[in-house]
Structure 1
Amino acid sequence: MDVRTVGVEEELLLVDPDSGEPRALSAAVLASAGREGGVGQEVFEAELQREQLEFATLPQASMSDLADEIVRWRAEAARHAARLGGAVAALATSPLPVSPSLAAGERYGWMAEEFGLTTQEQLTCGCHVHVSVGSDEEGVAVLDRIRPWLSVLVAISANSPFWQGRDSGYASYRSRVWGRWPSAGPVELFGSADRYHEQVSAMVGTGALRDRGMIYFDARLSATYPTVEVRVADVCLDPATTVLIATLVRGLVETAAREWRAGLPPVPHGVGLLRLASWRAGRSGMEEQLIHPLTMRPRPAADVVGALVGHVRDALEDAGDVPLVEEAVAALPETGNGARFQRDVVKRTGSLREVVAACVRRTCGG
């Protein structure tokens, strides 16, 4: 059967390979890629801060092809950074203290003026997953039905335990920092594409948001592509974890679309409960209990991940993704996520600089 295509956007941290401190190299890296021309010129983009770099894959039906692209573009980013005496790390926040430097442009200048310290401090790197949908109506039906499950993706991807040189106490502190934007986080049920677009127009109409690009919902309709865009994940340390997140998101989208076609209603959890589930996932990651998406009661993280896999199993089977997901999920208790890896390095070395060095190696599969 035909399967939905998936694309991934990853934001990477640009760092000094010796000190581990973030470096404002994005413009130089983009210039390096531009001089070579080819597809790489179109893949990389600047982000809010000059210490980060974004790339986007092409839409892929095969998760193997998606994995190859992620590895390829991480390696290309690393190559261009190395030319400039830098390195790239798939870190969702900088373990070491940093004063970010805003990228050039009218849009970013407006954000700095409007949002003040929120913009100045916002050096976070996420992973956004795009999954194709047939129409806005299908897309909004998907958004309504995947809401309870998104917190589980936060826990699996958690890769930001450190902030400004300190352990934050969170597995995903990025998710807390990102939540400072006024349009970020979980949203209510929409019920129809018309209602979704009315809400977005009303939010932009307040003047608090510059445009539709600043609709930072946990999941939204893409303004550029015929996709649902899920935006909750930290950038994952290992490329394989990114592929796991993308596979689960495709499973969620397909499962939700089938429920909609079958006339099954979405789970009517309120935004307050969804925020609590997201907070718990960011706080605990995979190390403690999470909030079960259906019962909204605490359960061991492994049980909640298992519930997610069970929820999307039919879609995974039809796409041929069950072996990939089962192998990756079975390894989670032993390997953990990026947050556990970072804390393990600190326990072993006592050095946040060593954390960055180790993550630079892991970013490209080392």
Structure 2
Amino acid sequence: MGVEEEYLLVTPEGEPAAQSPAVLGIAARELTSTAVPGGDVEKEFKSEQVETSTHPCTDLDELLDQVRAGRERVDSVAQAAGVRIAALGTAPQAVDPTVIPDRRAQEIRARFGLTAREQLTCGCHVHVSVSDDDEGVVVLDHLRPWTSVLLALSANSPSWQGVASGYASYRSQVWGRWPTAGPTAPFGDAATYREVVESLLASGTILDDGMLYFDARLSQRYPTVEVRIADVCLDAGDAALQAALVRALADTAVRSPRDEHPVRAELLRTAAWRAARSGLSGDLVSPLTWRPAPAMDVVDQLVDHVRDALVENGDLEAVERQLAHVRRRGNGAVEQMGWRARGDDDAAVVRRAVERTLGAPALVH
């Protein structure tokens, strides 16, 4: 498993800063890359953000160490360019973001208009390895009902363009404007997955398969399933929690019979909207009943669903410990709204987020 995280670049005063070209230039000179996937500092769609990733891991503690080390390394490089990193799903301030000086990015901007111009959002993507595309599709089809729970746990974007959005994850609402974003119908097998991809490409709507923005997809770069629904997490331990749950869902999928009555995408979209709206602060739609239930009860349902896999992977104790922290403090959206309630303005929220991004992990060895 591995984790990719996107971060906002911000000034020491707490304002978004279009400094990714400078940060990437310093990283290219100072950081050593390897042939192993992950570990690099990479560009994103906007100059106000960068992305980093872990190397593939089998041990959850190792993964957490890599997430923390990646954050510290990128922040060190960012400081050399006069900025910091903040693990926020959206910027609190009103911002007119800058598309990177890249031909593909500029073409996306021209084709997709305001959707592309406003798109300054930061997510957390979890990769889990699969033996082949057919196994990958088994995983994709199985985890569909549970992605909204992953979103609720990660929700970390309550503000948009200088106002309170009323959502725990407004990033997911902004991201949902892309034509391929969101949940999918079950694919059944790899051949069907490829047919869907080929049809989307043939439509002439998206530029390439890099614009398959499904909540979960087969990776174009690695032999993995890539789960993309989560906001970037303020707490590094919450990013590791996402990885542990996704891996457990994948393991559970491989050893479970296929669902003969798969839930429709319309229900999945509604469940994801509800998770985005209230995060962990209200009800979620339970994947067991498709009725509302308290958010942490639904989280417990997910843990019960994958308990055997968590035990086999040696992750159950760490997951339960991290969830105890989440129950106490909430997700990133709850933390941000708490700072607001104590009087922090936009810039102060960002400065606090920088501290939390680089802070000590809650998930311990």
Output the TM-score relative to the length of structure 2.
0.96
Q: 2:246 aligns with which of 245, 249, 255?
A: 249
Provide the residue aligned with 1:224 in structure 2.
Answer: 221
Work out the CA distance in 2 between the residues paired with 1:266 and 1:207. 33
Q: Is the CA contact 1:237–1:359 (under 8 Å) kept in the aligned structure 2?
A: yes
Matched position secondary structure for 1:231: strand
Alpha-carbon deviations, 1:212-231, whole Å to 9, x = none? 11111100000111100000
- Cα distance 1:287–1:253, how it changes in 2: closer, same or farther (>3 A)? same
Give the CA deviation at 1:267. Answer: 4.8
Work out the CA distance in 2 between the residues paired with 1:301 and 1:109. 40
| 1:95 and 2:92 aligned | yes
Q: 2:125 aligns with which of 119, 125, 128?
A: 128
Alpha-carbon deviations, 1:119-174, whole Å to 9, x = none? 00000000000000111111001111110000000000000001111110000000
Give the CA deviation at 1:34. Answer: 1.1
What are the within-5 Å matches in structure 2 for residues 167-178 of structure 1?
167-178=164-175
Work out the CA distance in 2 between the residues paired with 1:322 and 1:42. 26
Alpha-carbon deviations, 1:265-299, whole Å to 9, x = none? 26511111000000000001000000001211000
Work out the CA distance in 1 between the residues paired with 2:309 and 2:80. 43
Alpha-carbon deviations, 1:73-131, whole Å to 9, x = none? 10111111111221110001001111000001111111011100000000000000000
Specify the code of the residue in structure 2 equivalent to 1:15.
V
Provide the residue aligned with 1:44 in structure 2.
Answer: 41
Work out the CA distance in 2 between the residues paired with 1:196 and 1:43. 29
Task: State percent identity of aligned pairs.
Answer: 51
Q: Is the CA contact 2:41–2:50 (under 8 Å) kept in the aligned structure 1?
A: yes
Matched position secondary structure for 2:271: helix
Alpha-carbon deviations, 1:181-205, whole Å to 9, x = none? 0000000011111000000000011
Provide the residue aligned with 1:211 in structure 2.
Answer: 208
Work out the CA distance in 1 between the residues paired with 2:261 and 2:234. 32
Matched position secondary structure for 1:187: coil
| 1:158 and 2:158 aligned | no
- Cα distance 1:268–1:115, how it changes in 2: closer, same or farther (>3 A)? same
Q: 2:81 aligns with which of 74, 77, 84?
A: 84
Give the CA deviation at 1:331. Answer: 2.3
Provide the residue aligned with 2:184 in structure 1.
Answer: 187
Provide the residue aligned with 1:21 in structure 2.
Answer: 15
Q: Is the CA contact 2:84–2:354 (under 8 Å) kept in the aligned structure 1?
A: yes
Work out the CA distance in 2 between the residues paired with 1:85 and 1:348. 28
Specify the code of the residue in structure 2 equivalent to 1:314.
D
Specify the code of the residue in structure 1 equivalent to 2:10.
V
Runs of 4+ in structure 1 displaced over 6 angstroms?
none
How many aligned positions are there?
357
Specify the code of the residue in structure 1 equivalent to 2:283.
Q
Provide the residue aligned with 2:196 in structure 1.
Answer: 199
Q: Is the CA contact 2:97–2:117 (under 8 Å) kept in the aligned structure 1?
A: yes
Work out the CA distance in 2 between the residues paired with 1:201 and 1:50. 31
Work out the CA distance in 2 between the residues paired with 1:360 and 1:279. 28
Matched position secondary structure for 2:342: helix
Provide the residue aligned with 2:363 in structure 1.
Answer: none
Root-mean-square deviation over aligned CA pairs: 1.2
Work out the CA distance in 2 between the residues paired with 1:104 and 1:123. 15
Q: Is the CA contact 1:151–1:278 (under 8 Å) kept in the aligned structure 2?
A: yes
Q: Is the CA contact 1:145–1:267 (under 8 Å) kept in the aligned structure 2?
A: no
- Cα distance 1:339–1:345, how it changes in 2: closer, same or farther (>3 A)? same
Give the CA deviation at 1:334. Answer: 1.2
Matched position secondary structure for 1:299: strand
Alpha-carbon deviations, 1:24-59, whole Å to 9, x = none? 111101111111141389601110000000011110
Work out the CA distance in 2 between the residues paired with 1:237 and 1:176. 19
Structure 1 unaligned regions, length at least 5: 1-5
Matched position secondary structure for 2:126: strand
Q: 1:304 aligns with which of 298, 304, 312?
A: 298
Alpha-carbon deviations, 1:232-285, whole Å to 9, x = none? 0000001000000110000011101111xxx34265111110000000000010
Work out the CA distance in 2 between the residues paired with 1:178 and 1:107. 18
| 1:279 and 2:273 aligned | yes
Provide the residue aligned with 1:30 in structure 2.
Answer: 24
Work out the CA distance in 2 between the residues paired with 1:330 and 1:80. 33
| 1:10 and 2:24 aligned | no
Specify the code of the residue in structure 2 equivalent to 1:51.
E
- Cα distance 1:287–1:42, how it changes in 2: closer, same or farther (>3 A)? closer
Provide the residue aligned with 1:111 in structure 2.
Answer: 108
Matched position secondary structure for 1:116: helix
Output the TM-score relative to the length of structure 1.
0.96
Matched position secondary structure for 1:38: coil
Work out the CA distance in 2 between the residues paired with 1:85 and 1:92. 21
Structure 2 unaligned regions, length at least 5: 361-365
| 1:354 and 2:348 aligned | yes
